[in-house]
A and B are shown apart, each in its own frame.
Chain A
Amino acid sequence: MEYKVEAHRIMSISLGKIYNSRVQRGGIKLHKNLLVSLVLRSARQVYLSDYYAGVCLNAQHIEAKEWELMDADREKLIPASERHVGAEDGRASRLQEKDGDSLDPSDVAVTSPVSPAISETQCGSSDCETDADAAVTEGDSRQPPKDHACSHRKRSAEETGVSETPVKRTKVTPNAIVANNEIEEGEEMDTSNVSNLITIFGSGFSGLLSKDSAKSESETDDSDSGSGQICCEQMLKNLNPWTTAIVAF
Chain B
Amino acid sequence: MSSNNMADPKRQNKILRYKPPSTESNPTLEDPTPDYMNLLGMIFSMCGLMLKLKWCAWIAVYCSFISFANSRSSEDTKQMMSSFMLSISAVVMSYLQNPQPMSPPW
Q: A and B: partners?
A: no
State the A residues within 8 Å of B (CB): none
State the B residues within 8 Å of A (CB): none
